[in-house]
A and B are shown apart, each in its own frame.
Chain A
């Protein structure tokens, strides 16, 4: 089954404790990205990757890191989480054949930083 898998689904952590949210897709998609969803703001792009070893900032990259060492995986790293990073996070992938390609989303990771 074609899917994007994020882990964990829920995470509560303390300020400053490094964490990684994993994202993996099995569709051989080139384009992957991370979004955060906040009330009243919709989803905003954090980082994206157009292929292996090619990553770039989205609209809200501060406090986050990513890497793309393999085509299928695109982890999101919070080196020193802060309470303002409490949010619902989504990983997405798309085939990368140009504008308008359908994005497939993971199930979401609800992160709480206390």
Chain B
């Protein structure tokens, strides 16, 4: 069965600190995609990144970076020099060839609180 675990329920940091969100996934499929979404206090879901199972290159986008390690089934997300606007719930999600191909299996989410 497909599963995504975000063990951190809430992380609180002071502005300018770095924060790393863990995501561990389970699947027997060799072809799959991993996603991160941000849900700010306004409630909408904002797409951040998509990574396929054949591309283990780490990615950096501004203050955001992602570390994909198939050996540990992890797809961790780091916010560098956090800002108050980064306060949100962050979801990791998995899409596999076993499920209907549009389905996303979400983790429980990690609430990030950034205080000034």
Contacts and interface: CB of A to CB of B under 8 A. Distances in A.
Contacts of B44: 105, 107-108
Interface of B: 4, 6, 9, 31-33, 43-45, 47, 50, 52, 91, 93, 95-97, 100-104, 106-109
B45 A99 contact: no
Chain B binding surface SS class: loop
Given A48-B102, A105-B44, A107-B43, A40 B108 contact: yes
A100 B33 contact: yes
Contacts of A50: 100, 102
Given A94-B102, A99-B32, A108-B44, A42 B50 contact: no
A100 B107 contact: no
A62 interface: no
B110 to A, nearest CB: 10
